[in-house]
Amino acid sequence: MPRPRASASTSPTSPLLAFLCDTLVRSGCELLNVEGARNGCFRLSFEDPHLHRSGIVGRLFRLEAHDTDGDGARMTLRPAASPDGAPHGRDSFGLFTSVLLGVEPSRDLFVAFDPARHFPEDEPLRVSINAAPLQRVLARGWHAWEREEYERDGTGFAETLVGFTAPNLVRYVLFERLASGLDTGHRQLLAERFYSDVLRRRG
Is-contact 137 165, C-beta < 8 A?
yes
193 falls within a domain: yes
149 in a structural domain: yes
Amino acid sitting at position 108: D
Q: How far is C-alpha 63 from the geometric centre of its chain's CA atoms?
A: 12
Structural domain boundaries enclosing 69? 15-202
- The pLDDT assigned to 13 comes to 67
Cβ within 8 Å of residue 126, ≥6 positions away: 74, 75, 76, 77
Main-chain dihedrals φ then ψ at residue 95, nearest 5 degrees: -90, -15
pLDDT, residue 134, reads 94
Residue 86 lies in a domain: yes
pLDDT at 64: 87
Residue 154: per-residue pLDDT: 52
Residues whose CB is less than 8 angstroms from the CB of residue 112 and which lie 6 or more positions away in sequence, other chains included = 99, 100, 101, 102, 161, 162, 163, 164, 172, 176
Provide DSSP, 104-145.
Answer: EGGGTEEEEE-GGG--TTSPPEEEEE-HHHHHHHHHHSEEEE
Is residue 31 domain-resident? yes
- Max CA pair span of the chain: 64
115 in a structural domain: yes
Q: Is residue 190 part of a domain?
A: yes
Contact 63, 111 (CB under 8 A): yes
Total domains in the fold of the chain: 1
Q: Is residue 5 part of a domain?
A: no
Listed as own residue / partner, the contacts of 51-54 with beta carbons closer than 8 Å and 24 or more positions apart are 54/97, 54/173, 54/174, 54/177
Mean pLDDT by 10 residues, the chain (203 residues): 46 84 97 87 94 93 76 73 46 83 95 86 78 93 85 66 96 94 92 82 60
Angle subtended by helix axes 15-26 and 169-179, to nearest 10: 100
Query: How many angstroms separate the first and last alpha carbons of the chain?
Result: 33
> Using CA atoms, how far apart are residues 89 and 96, in angstroms rounded to an integer?
8
Decide if 8 is inside a domain: no
